[in-house]
Amino acid sequence: MSSRSSLDRILQSQGFGTRKYCRQLIAEGDVSVGGDVVTDYRASFDTDGLVFSVFGEEWTYREHVYIAINKPANFECSRKPSHHPGVLTLLPEQFSWREVQPVGRLDHDTTGLLLLSDDGAFIHAQSSPRRHVPKLYVATTHDPVTPELIAHLLGGVQLHDEPAPLAAIRCDMLDAHRLEIVLEQGKYHQVKRMLAAAGNHCSALCRTAIGGLTLEALELAEGEWCFLEQAQLDLLAPAA
């Protein structure tokens, strides 16, 4: 839904700082709309499809942001990281002002597809265990992958704090020390714990897909990010 708002409020809503700072940016000629510098913070604009520039960098107004990032190793999925840099340090600073946060978590040493947003309803919905959205991982194992290991993961392994065995939706051998595994549950350290319970050890882990959204289609190198548009968000729906 489109609406009109003053330029300082627009900049603040998009994460460029406090109202006072946004007014300063405007007054100093650092903001342009439609190619024209605007120095009056009270100037109002229709936010629907609004394109503006700050310090010469172009942005499109977004009521909420939905982001995918190819997370590198040794970054924590936390707004308050403790031992490693936070994944938000890989994004422009205004996303922190917008209180963007990860949707779920990947361990600090796990790489791959991670979603982030400032839309609380979206985060809650995507994080709900009731959604049953399949997630695809590529796991590198310490010991060789065997048909018995695959069968064990597909048949279900018992984890000490779970009431029932957890099974992979799909599991395929890629090579002697790598397998693809698809899970729906999203339990804490699930892939690593399942491999340990099955008698192996996970030495590296990468999430390559969530639902129908894949890293390959996004073409993101490690550390790169992109906005997700509606067609891509639709791919996150549970399997029919």
Q: Which residues are catalytic?
A: 107
Residues in the chain: 240
Give the Cα separation of 231 and 75 in Å (integer).
Answer: 28
| Region label for 148, one of left (φ > 0), alpha (ψ between -120 and 50) or beta (otherwise) | alpha
CB 121 within 8 A of CB 106: no
Q: For 76, which DSSP code?
A: B
Give the Cα separation of 47 and 28 in Å (integer).
Answer: 22
What are 7's two structure tokens? 């330029």
CB 212 within 8 A of CB 174: no
